[in-house]
Amino acid sequence: MPQTITRGIKALLDEANAEIETLSAADAIEAAKRDDVVIIDIRDPREIEREGRIPGAFSCTRGMLEFWIDPQSPYAKPIFQQDKTFIFHCAGGLRSALAAKTAQDMGLKPVAHIGGGFAAWREAGGPIEAWAPKKKD
């Protein structure tokens, strides 16, 4: 018998969006110019390679987020221990809403996400750079 899902993705997104700050792409473009802001790109590397990336963004796939944020984790990344504002983005603004809420629930502050994600950033004229994975020897 199939599982019955009692809280679907819409409920999770509604909850996340009610609890986190959502920035317009234009506001995120301006915020990204500040030294106290880190843009966190949670897209898969294949998406980044295909679409490009926001210059200076820190790439953290959604699957590693909790492990990289937690300073007690063996996978912790020092960038998440800095006193910065963390602005998350994905391709369209759905995964980043969930990621920002998770980060906020873990105690990372302040956090926000870009409404409309990378697509909105691109449409608003935000800078984009090409990205290619490192070659394996």
Return the exposure string of 84-120: e unless at least 16 CB atoms fall within 10 Å of the residue's CB, then b: bbbbbbbbebbbbbbbbbbbbeeebeebbbbbbbbbb
- Each residue of 57-80: pLDDT tens digit? 999 999 999 999 999 999 999 999
Average of per-residue pLDDT across 99-104: 98
Measured N-to-C along each axis, helices 95-105 and 9-19 cross at an angle, to the nearest 10 degrees, of 60
Higher per-residue confidence, 3 vs 130? 130
Six token digits for residue 129:
């750079």
CATH no. for 22-123: 3.40.250.10
pLDDT > 90? residue 101? yes
pLDDT band per the 50, 70, 90 thresholds, residue 7: confident
pLDDT band per the 50, 70, 90 thresholds, residue 137: low
Q: Provide the pLDDT for residue 6.
A: 81
- Each residue of 28-39: pLDDT tens digit? 999 999 999 999
Is this model's pTM higher than 0.85 or not? yes
